[in-house]
């Protein structure tokens, strides 16, 4: 199953190259962005370039499939990496590992501001799709991450299966986990959950009840590494020496 954290990381600007190796202006990716703008016009509503690394292009929902066509047919991005969604709403439950037993839920305020990653966004839900031209042997390695906002009251968008067959299972997962409908998909049906399951587990307002009624099990006290401060203020190696003396 796709991990929501991994998806969010894909929407963050990478820091792969040392700062001195990153150009201030990436003319090659600026040219790729110009191709999208030439083909889609005002449907390109946001963009971001991480020089020497990656290009993000945010388009309107209606231009979602057209943007994928530009990427594949005009830019040679025939490799489909992934498709998923993000719910940018701050979790009403807080961080589960920090929450107390029987914590209540805070109602979502649509007017509240929240961050939506690079290239911007105006809605709670966003689609993401990453494609690449893996046959390109010249710089830059061409990788594009497409984004599109989805209105909260109409979570649907065109399917990309006709362009990228690999999108089939990814769209089924989004439909199941986020409740997003993909118009034109050949068969939206469950991948992981039983047919009678209610709700969409990757939405931020879906409660993981086991984490609300019982403390997070991943937080445990561990012995400090040698040289690290112990919980009682002693150094880790000193505590280790005291243990050895006690055993002698």
Stronger pLDDT, 8 or 87, i.e. the higher one: 87
Stronger pLDDT, 159 or 19, i.e. the higher one: 159
d(CA 35, CA 30): 9
Stronger pLDDT, 233 or 21, i.e. the higher one: 21
Q: Kindly indicate the confidence band of residue 245, based on its pLDDT and cuts at 50, 70 and 90.
A: very low
- Tell me the sheet residues that pair with 114: none
Q: How far is CA 194 from CA 44, 187, 216, in A?
A: 38, 16, 26
In degrees rounded to 5, what are phi and psi of residue 176?
Answer: -75, -45
Q: For the segment 46-62, what is each residue's pLDDT rounded down to a tens digit?
A: 999 999 889 999 999 99
Q: Is the pLDDT of residue 233 over 90?
A: no
**Which has the closest alpha carbon to 78: 136, 20, 10?**
136
Average pLDDT over every residue of 206-225: 66
Mean per-residue pLDDT of the chain: 80
d(CA 25, CA 36): 18
Q: Kindly indicate the confidence band of residue 227, based on its pLDDT and cuts at 50, 70 and 90.
A: confident
The per-residue pLDDT for 111 is 60
Between vectors from CA 88 to CA 99 and to CA 158, what angle results, nearest 5°?
A: 140
Question: Is residue 183 exposed (0-12), middle (13-18) or buried (19+ Cβ within 10 Å)?
Answer: exposed
Q: Are 94 and 115 in contact (CB under 8 A)?
A: no
The per-residue pLDDT for 136 is 72
The per-residue pLDDT for 6 is 52
The per-residue pLDDT for 224 is 73
The per-residue pLDDT for 171 is 98
Q: Is the pLDDT of residue 207 over 90?
A: no
Average pLDDT over every residue of 28-43: 96
Q: Is the pLDDT of residue 20 over 70?
A: no
Structural domain boundaries of the chain?
Answer: 4-208, 218-248
Fold classified for 4-208:
Beta Polymerase; domain 2 (3.30.460)
In this prediction the pTM is 0.74
Name which of 100-104, 117-121, 185-189 the model is least confident about: 100-104
Q: Is the pLDDT of residue 162 over 60?
A: yes
Q: For the segment 79-108, what is each residue's pLDDT rounded down to a tens digit?
A: 999 999 999 988 776 665 555 544 555 555
Q: Are 126 and 150 in contact (CB under 8 A)?
A: yes
Q: Is the pLDDT of residue 240 over 80?
A: no
């Amino acid at each position: 199953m796709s991990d929501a954290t991994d998806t969010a990381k894909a929407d963050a600007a990478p820091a792969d190259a040392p700062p001195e190796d990153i150009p201030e202006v990436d003319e090659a990716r600026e040219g790729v962005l110009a191709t999208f703008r030439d083909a889609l016009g005002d449907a390109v509503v946001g963009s971001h370039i991480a020089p020497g690394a990656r290009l993000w292009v945010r388009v309107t929902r209606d231009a979602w499939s057209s943007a994928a066509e530009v990427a594949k047919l005009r830019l040679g991005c025939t490799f489909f990496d992934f498709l998923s969604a993000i719910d940018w709403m701050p979790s009403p439950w807080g961080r589960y590992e920090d929450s107390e037993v029987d914590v209540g839920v805070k109602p979502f305020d649509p007017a509240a501001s929240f961050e939506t990653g690079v290239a911007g966004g105006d809605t709670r839900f966003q689609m993401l799709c990453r494609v690449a031209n893996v046959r390109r042997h010249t710089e830059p390695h061409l990788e594009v991450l497409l984004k599109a906002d989805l209105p909260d009251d109409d979570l649907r968008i065109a399917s990309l299966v006709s362009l990228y067959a690999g999108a089939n299972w990814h769209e089924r997962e989004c439909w199941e986990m986020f409740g997003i409908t993909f118009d034109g998909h050949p068969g939206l049906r469950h991948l992981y959950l039983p047919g009678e399951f209610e709700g969409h587990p990757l939405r931020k307002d879906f409660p993981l009840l086991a984490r609300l009624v019982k403390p997070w099990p991943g937080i445990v006290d561990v012995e400090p590494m040698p040289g690290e401060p112990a919980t009682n203020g002693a150094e880790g190696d000193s505590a280790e020496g005291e243990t050895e003396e006690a055993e002698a």
